[in-house]
Structure 1
Amino acid sequence: MKIIELLVKALLGSDFDHGYPHIERVLKWAERIVSTENLPVDRELLKTIVLLHDVGRIIGEPHAYYSGLVAEELLKEFSLDPAVIRRVVNAIQYHSFSYSRNHRIEPGSLEALVLSDADKLDALGIVGFIRVFIYSCRNGRSFEDTLKHFDEKIFKLSGEMKFRYSRLKASELVEKTMRLLNDLLAEFRGLCEGQGFLNNHKGC
């Protein structure tokens, strides 16, 4: 586990949006879900899954696919049971909002459901709001497309939660995200009059 932690830290770096700080936050969300719901998960397996779920981002998209490949090859080096490796890869592939739907990936374990919820919770609230804009700036996504991202993905995440605790927290965090976005839009409308995409976006 220590080797995996050091490797993931080195590969993902310290970026707030998808670096190791994101991994640490997802781990904390996962622990809260498991404890609150009293879930009989394999905690070491869950930690392994969380640590490796985004490691493929160093290669590119679809990151869930590449993360699964990296995880599979790494865990083979540790001579893990092939059945365990398959559970890790399945959970990693399933966690992605878009990849799992495009490729019809179904969750193969309780740990997969926990990762899915924990990862999505970190995309909401103030933390999630900041992450969206950091990612947009880094990847050249326009302000208009960033606003669309909230409508097309972020505000749909609460409906994807699998556990009661996750749904309750997601509901709270979505409200925070909506308030932040509406405040941002209100401020920008006063500064950017005439820019259609701002004037036409009614907020939430």
Structure 2
Amino acid sequence: MKLEEFISSPQSRQLIESVRNFAKSFFERDGTHGFSHVERVFNLCMHIGREEGADLEVLALAALLHDIARPLEDAGKVEDHAAEGARIARRYLKSLGYPDEKVEAVAHAIEAHRFSRGPEPRTLEAKILSDADKLDAIGAVGIARVFMYSGEQGRDIEASIKHFEEKILKLKDLMYTKTARKIANERHRFTVEFLRRLRLEIEGEL
């Protein structure tokens, strides 16, 4: 994705690239919640944000920073990576002289990006980030991520199917924006078809 297609200001693009490098430094390894996930969420945010009329600079920064504390949560060092990520983002962006109002907009989006716990996203940018994070769990990428995680955790195919049924297949109904709902519906259909075929193959019918 070419950033200049979404962000016209050279100063803004430079800021976003600096934040990208800062965010990437938190990830020693990739995986289901590695920096490749962050990049995909970023790309989704730019596409959805342009369609929905969001502040793309705020959205870009929030997307890049939304999971910076995820490695800390995975290591048991913090309880909530969204809350801790917002704290880190505030300190970092303030150190760059970023306007306080925009710092808080970025921090709120990070705090509210998890669909499984509060706070509820109040701004358009927060809603888009939450949508993009959920969208990365649906469709072809979502299927790949489920089985990556299953491999990491030693989880079998049946347990993976249960995860789809209990969580992944419910995500399309949790989108906030019209653009995300459209994407989610298509990704959901693909996921449902995959699971249908997977069950048939398990039963030896295909």
TM-score, normalised by the number of residues in structure 2: 0.79
> Does the alignment pair 1:43 with 2:56?
yes
1:75 aligned to 2:75? no
Residue 53 of structure 1 pairs with residue 66 of structure 2: yes
* Structure 2: distance between partners of 1:71 and 1:160: 26
Q: Which moved more, 1:156-165 or 1:16-25?
A: 16-25
Distance 2:196 2:177 in 1: 28
SS in 1 for 2:30: coil
Q: Distance in 2 between matches of 1:123 and 1:15?
A: 16
TM-score using structure 1 length: 0.80
- Distance (whole Å) between structure 1 residues aligned to residue 80 and residue 200 of structure 2: 34
Q: Which residue of 1 aligns with 2:180?
A: 166
Answer yes or no: is 1:5 the counterpart of 2:23.
no
Q: Structure 2: where are the runs of 5+ without partners?
A: 1-14, 74-78
RMSD: 2.2
Structure 1 unaligned spans of 5+: 192-204
Q: Is the 8 A contact 1:42 1:111 kept in 2?
A: yes
> What SS class does the counterpart of residue 95 from structure 1 fall into?
coil
Once the two structures are superposed, what CA deviation does each residue of 1:70-90 show, in whole Å capped at 9, x if it has no partner?
222322322434433222222
- How many residue pairs are counted as aligned between the two chains? 185
Contact 2:49 2:59 in 1 (8 A): no
How many angstroms apart in 2 are the aligned matches of 1:189 and 1:167? 33
Q: Give 1:25's aligned residue.
A: 40
The one-letter amino acid paired with 1:66 is: E
Instruction: Identify which range, 133-142 or 45-54, moves more after superposition.
Output: 133-142
Query: 1:123 corresponds to which letter in structure 2?
Result: A
Q: Which amino acid aligns with 2:43?
A: K
Query: Where does 1:90-169 land on structure 2 (aligned, <5 Å)?
Result: 90-100=108-118, 105-141=119-155, 143-169=157-183
Once the two structures are TM-superposed, the CA of residue 13 in structure 1 deviates from its matched residue by 4.9
